[in-house]
Structure 1
Amino acid sequence: MIAASEHIYFAAPPLPYYLESGVTNHERGDQHPSRKQLGVFDLLIVEHGCLFIGEDERNWQLTDGQTLLLLPDRYHYSVKPSEEKTRFYWVHFQAVGEWQQTELDHSGINQEEHYNRFLTSPYSLHLQKAWTLPYPEQAFRLMRTLNKAGGERQSSAFWTQQQTFEELLRMMDLRQNDSYTSPIVTLAEKAEAYIKNNYRFEISSKTMAEALNFHYNYITRCMKQVYGMTPIDYLSKYRLEQAKLMLLKTEWPIVEIAQYVGFENVPYFSNCFTQQIGLPPTKFRKQYTT
């Protein structure tokens, strides 16, 4: 039985990168080798048959179209030999950035304080540890492309494999599929998108509630849980980040920039900018000019 509570998060960028891949065919009685502290992530994708695999104190029985992501710092072993012909693909990859495995509560949100950095960093790749693929044939096709590229010249194989691997990650990223994403995360992301698309104009609790069809207090609670800030705080932060870009990319006066990013009161804009960035707008621009 595939447990749905364990998930693995990768802060991105940088994205995990491909190392090597292959396909294994088991006859009846064959089994997966036992390894410990392998140092790389090992993604298994079963095409047909049944693979009995364990990690530390856990074990799984993977059948057609199911996947398992084994961690680089754990002990992996065969639970028992294959009982039938079994074919599975494997991918070894590495992650330079932060990652963590965690369990979710009933709402789909991890309550640990340090979890927020994965959702705001500026993106987190969200993979389920053990999963039944919704479109297994697509994953098999990508795996065949990965393995075939291994026989090509390195200069061309590198780009084919990295791009194909990223396509595989995108297909498996639960945040790309609303049906697998927590409603809290989905609403927070919709609120974020609304703010980014409308930051130059007046945004009120009423306009946001009407646009998203949720009570503003609930929107606020979701954004605080996912991004660690209220919609108003996020709006102010985003406006100031856009102001930074305008100060660097244009010669517009401070007044015009303030109004362009949604601040009607210029002194208030300058005060907010100074508090968040650490310098007044004029000094911020001056440090990048000759």
Structure 2
Amino acid sequence: MNKSELIVAFAAPPAPYFIECGKTVYAPGDQHPSRKQLGLFDLIIMESGCLHIGEEDTEWSLTAGQSLLLRPDLYHYSVKPCEEATSFYWIHFQTACEWREVPEDAPAWGLEDHQRTFRAAPYVLHLAKHWDMPYPEETFRLMNRLIAANGERQSSAFWNGGQAFEELLRMMDLRQLEQYASPAVTVAEKAEAYIKNHYGTQLTSRTLSEALHYHYNYITRCMKQVYGMTPGEYLTFYRLEQAKLLLLKTEWPIAEIGRAVGFENIPYFSNSFAARNGVSPRQFRQSYSKQA
């Protein structure tokens, strides 16, 4: 997949959730129905033949081993009937969280867009719009598992189908595949992991650069592209999120919590917390207290 390809990026949690799936076989002359405002993502996974399909102003001729992700809010249609026997799997899913369609090499939207929604930094799942799947046989196996779950009693189908769908998402997530992950994403994720493991220490630009073996300016560019934050901004963000958890789960004094998450200057900790959350650490704790 070249850098001009589109991806659909989903913030998680919550992850996209499974609705329904099936397998369709077309004879020559059959064609895909035209639909608008379906309200569901429609993932097409080609097993054999050729399917001619379009979405708004873009058209594709899908062949075996390819996938296409159609959006829930756009018009998609048959370009022309099949000229040979054609079979494909399809799966409908939806998400309760924000998603965007962007160029593959574009930066993901920043964490600041989610800080009021999540206490933990969201993961951004990347699904290719149009893809030559690297492991089509494994994808077919998972689709057959999903279809088989449809015939089970509801209590089994819910868990078995959901598990198979999660495996499918993981396998199709471009960020999980080294050959598709950009260098910027790789460096940013390494930096994020290091910050999470050392946020309670006096982490500096030098220690981060030495640990990752990259110049700090390059690490900064990568994190800004992927997370919308510099390493320093992400460090503050993560420290304050951990402080929230300690305020809720412990009775530690405010100063002790500030020091535990890496702030040496406690007034600065309180001011930073209030600037991000709109209330002081003490007010935040009291808002969840029975006595509040």
| Maintained 8 Å contact 1:11/1:118 | no
Distance 1:197 1:143 in 2: 37
Residue 53 (structure 2) aligns with: 53
Question: Which stretch shifts more, 55-64 or 251-260?
Answer: 251-260
Q: SS of 2:179's equivalent? A: helix
Relative to 1, partners in 2 of residues 1:265 and 1:82: Cα closer, same or farther, differing over 3 Å?
same
- Structure 1 match to 2:240: 240
TM-score between the two structures when normalised by the length of structure 1:
0.88
One-letter code aligned to 2:172: M
Matched, 1:272 2:269: no
Partner residue of 1:78? 78
**Contact kept in structure 1, 2:5 and 2:130, CA below 8 Å:** no
Residue pair 1:4, 1:128 contacting (<8 A) in 2 also? no
Give the structure 2 partner of residue 109 of structure 1.
Answer: 106
Please identify, of 139-148 and 159-168, the stretch whose mean Cα deviation from structure 2 is larger.
159-168
SS in structure 1 of the partner of residue 28 of structure 2: coil
Specify every segment of 5 or more residues in structure 2 that has no aligned partner in the other structure, as ranges.
115-120
CA shift, 1:136, in A, is 0.9
Correspondence for 1:130: 130
CA contact (8 A) 1:2 1:131 kept: no
Distance 1:2 1:42, change over 3 A: farther
Aligned pairs for 1:49-198 (under 5 A) are 49-104=49-104, 108-110=105-107, 115-116=109-110, 122-198=122-198
Q: Which amino acid aligns with 1:14?
A: P
Deviations 1:171-208 (A, max 9, x none): 11112223212222222222111100011112111111
Structure 1 residue 2 displacement after superposition: 8.8
Q: TM-score, with normalisation over the residues of structure 2?
A: 0.87
- Cα distance, 1:150 vs structure 2: 1.3
Structure-1 separation of matches of 2:97 and 2:286: 33
Please tell me whether residue 34 in structure 1 is matched to residue 34 in structure 2. yes
Count matched residues: 284
- One-letter code of the match for 1:116? G
TM-superposed CA distance for 1:27, in Å, is 2.5
Larger deviation, residues 10-19 vs 185-194: 10-19
- 1:82 corresponds to which letter in structure 2? C
Task: Quickly say closer, same or farther: Cα 1:258–1:94, change in 2 above 3 A.
Answer: closer
Deviation of 1:4 (Å): 5.1
Counterparts of 1:164 and 1:18, CA distance in 2: 10
Alpha-carbon separation, structure 2, partners of 1:3 and 1:236: 32
Matched, 1:20 2:20: yes
Q: Answer whether contact 2:188 2:226 (CA < 8 A) is retained.
A: yes
Q: Distance in 2 between matches of 1:164 and 1:35?
A: 27
Partner of 1:284: 284
Deviation, 1:110, is 4.3
* Deviation at residue 273 of structure 1 after TM alignment: 2.9
CA distance in 2, matches of 1:238, 1:117: 11
What is the aligned partner in structure 1 of residue 117 from structure 2?
none
Q: CA deviation at 1:41?
A: 1.6
Question: In structure 2, what is the Cα distance between the partners aligned to 1:264 and 1:5?
Answer: 46
Q: Which moved more, 1:146-155 or 1:176-185?
A: 176-185
Distance 1:206 1:3 in 2: 32
Aligned residue type for 2:266: V
Q: Per the alignment, do residues 103 and 118 of structure 1 end up closer, same or farther by CA in structure 2, a change over 3 Å counting?
A: farther
CA distance in 1 between counterparts of 2:172 and 2:89 reads: 15
User: Take 1:36 and 1:271, find their aligned partners in 2: how far apart are those partners?
Assistant: 49
**Greater displacement, 225-234 / 212-221:** 225-234
Q: Is the deviation greater in 188-197 or in 244-253?
A: 244-253
Q: Structure 2 vs 1, CA of residues 35 and 138 (structure 1 numbering), >3 Å: closer, same or farther?
A: same
**Worse-superposed segment, 89-98 or 264-273:** 264-273
Query: 2 CA distance for matches of 1:75 and 1:286?
Result: 50
- Counterpart amino acid of residue 129 in structure 1: K
Q: Identity percentage over the alignment?
A: 61
1:28 deviates by: 2.8
**Which of 274-283 and 79-88 deviates more?**
274-283
C-alpha distance in structure 2 between counterparts of 1:273 and 1:288, whole Å = 16
